[in-house]
C-alpha cells in the first residue's frame, strides 16, 4: 500500500480536503496540514489544531477496503488506526516514563473507541484521536487523525488533554512520528481480524473498566467485558447491554 502525500501549511479541515478529493475520484493519498482552522473530532467536537501538532487524513478507496475487509465492517479501520497510534507513540512515552514520576506507562492506552489517553495524577488526558467517515455514493473512506505533539494545550483543556512534548519534557520531530505511524498502519492493515482485535484488547484501557456510555437515546453504566467491530458490551444491573455508538466516560 503506497500513498501520495499532500502537505499543506493550513487548511480548514484535512478530512474536508480529502472529502473533496474523494468526490473527484482520488484515493490512496494522505493530506497533512501544519494547522487546521476548523478541525473536528468525534461527535462534532472542535479539535484544537495549533501549530506543533500532527493533523492528517488518509483517503482510501472503498472497494479496496471492502476487498481486504471481507466482513465489510468499516469500523475495522478505526481499530487499525488506534493500534497503530498506540504502537507509534509507545516508545516515546515509555522512555520518558522512566525518569518522570507523574505517570506510569501502564496507564497509557486506548479509550473506546479510538482515543489515546494517559492518566496523569488521577486525570485521564487525551493525546490523540481519530475521526472516520464513509461516503458510499462516491466510494471512499477517510481516516482523520490528530496527535498532540509539540503544540500548546489551551488552559481550558489542560485537565483533559496533553501533548507529547509536555509528557516527555522535550520537542519531537512530527514527521518522525508520522512515518512511524504509516509504517505501523501498513503492517497492521494486513493483519487478520483476530490479530487486530487481540492487539486492541491488549492496548485498551476501557476493557474491564467501569464506564458510562452516553448515547443519543440513553445513558448506560456498567463494566465493559468485550469490544469488537460491532461495538462495546457491558455488564449492567439490567443485564448485558450492547452499544455501537456513544461517548465513553471512565468512572474509575
- Tens-place pLDDT, residues 215-234: 988 999 999 999 999 999 99
Contact 244, 231 (CB under 8 A): yes
Can you tell me the distance from the alpha carbon of 168 to that of 92, in angstroms, rounded to the nearest whole number?
7
Which residues of the chain, if any, have pLDDT below 70?
38-48, 66-74, 97-102, 252
- pLDDT at residue 157, rounded to an integer: 87
Give me the CATH topology for the region 4-203: BirA Bifunctional Protein; domain 2 (3.30.930)
pTM more than 0.85 = yes
Q: Is 150 helix (H, G, I), strand (E, B) or coil?
A: coil
Can you tell me the distance from the alpha carbon of 235 to that of 194, in angstroms, rounded to the nearest whole number?
23
Q: State the DSSP code for 40.
A: B
What is the spatial order of strands in the sheet that 210-214 belongs to?
239-243, 231-236, 219-228, 210-214, 247-250
Task: Tell me the β-bridge partners of 195.
Answer: none
CATH 3.40.630.40 assigned to domain 210-250? The reply is: no
- pLDDT at residue 129, rounded to an integer: 92
Can you tell me the distance from the alpha carbon of 204 to that of 86, in angstroms, rounded to the nearest whole number?
10
Contact 111, 250 (CB under 8 A): yes
For the segment 110-132, what is each residue's pLDDT rounded down to a tens digit? 999 999 999 988 889 999 999 99
Can you tell me the distance from the alpha carbon of 242 to that of 1, in angstroms, rounded to the nearest whole number?
34
- pLDDT at residue 43, rounded to an integer: 45
- pLDDT at residue 242, rounded to an integer: 95
What is the spatial order of strands in the sheet that 123-135 belongs to?
4-11, 29-36, 54-61, 140-147, 123-135, 115-120, 109-111
- pLDDT at residue 45, rounded to an integer: 54
Q: Is 149 helix (H, G, I), strand (E, B) or coil?
A: coil
- pLDDT at residue 118, rounded to an integer: 93
Contact 94, 252 (CB under 8 A): no
Q: Is 251 helix (H, G, I), strand (E, B) or coil?
A: coil
In the chain, where the domains are located? 4-203, 210-250
- pLDDT at residue 216, rounded to an integer: 87
Amino acid at each position: 500500500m503506497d500513498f501520495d502525500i499532500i502537505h499543506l501549511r493550513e487548511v480548514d479541515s484535512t478530512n474536508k480536503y480529502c472529502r473533496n478529493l474523494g468526490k473527484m475520484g482520488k484515493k490512496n493519498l494522505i493530506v497533512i496540514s501544519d494547522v487546521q482552522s476548523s478541525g473536528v473530532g468525534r461527535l462534532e467536537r472542535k479539535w484544537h489544531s495549533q501549530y506543533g501538532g500532527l493533523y492528517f487524513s488518509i483517503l482510501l478507496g472503498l472497494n479496496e477496503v471492502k476487498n481486504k475487509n471481507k466482513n465489510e465492517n468499516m469500523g475495522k479501520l478505526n481499530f487499525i488506526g488506534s493500534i497503530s497510534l498506540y504502537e507509534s507513540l509507545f516508545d516515546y512515552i515509555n522512555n520518558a516514563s522512566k525518569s518522570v514520576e507523574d505517570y506510569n506507562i501502564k496507564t497509557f492506552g486506548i479509550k473506546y473507541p479510538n482515543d489515546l489517553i494517559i492518566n496523569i495524577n488521577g486525570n485521564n488526558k487525551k493525546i490523540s484521536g481519530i475521526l472516520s467517515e464513509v461516503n458510499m455514493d462516491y466510494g471512499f473512506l477517510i481516516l482523520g487523525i490528530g496527535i498532540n505533539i509539540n503544540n500548546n494545550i489551551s488552559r481550558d483543556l489542560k485537565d483533559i488533554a496533553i501533548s507529547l512534548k509536555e509528557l516527555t519534557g522535550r520537542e519531537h520531530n512530527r514527521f518522525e512520528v508520522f512515518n512511524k505511524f504509516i509504517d505501523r498502519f501498513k503492517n497492521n492493515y494486513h493483519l487478520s481480524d483476530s490479530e487486530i482485535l487481540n492487539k486492541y484488547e491488549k492496548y485498551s484501557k476501557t476493557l474491564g473498566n467501569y464506564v458510562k456510555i452516553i448515547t443519543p437515546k440513553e445513558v448506560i453504566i456498567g463494566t465493559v467485558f468485550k469490544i469488537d467491530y460491532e461495538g462495546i458490551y457491558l455488564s449492567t444491573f439490567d443485564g448485558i447491554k450492547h452499544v455501537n455508538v456513544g461517548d465513553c466516560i471512565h468512572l474509575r
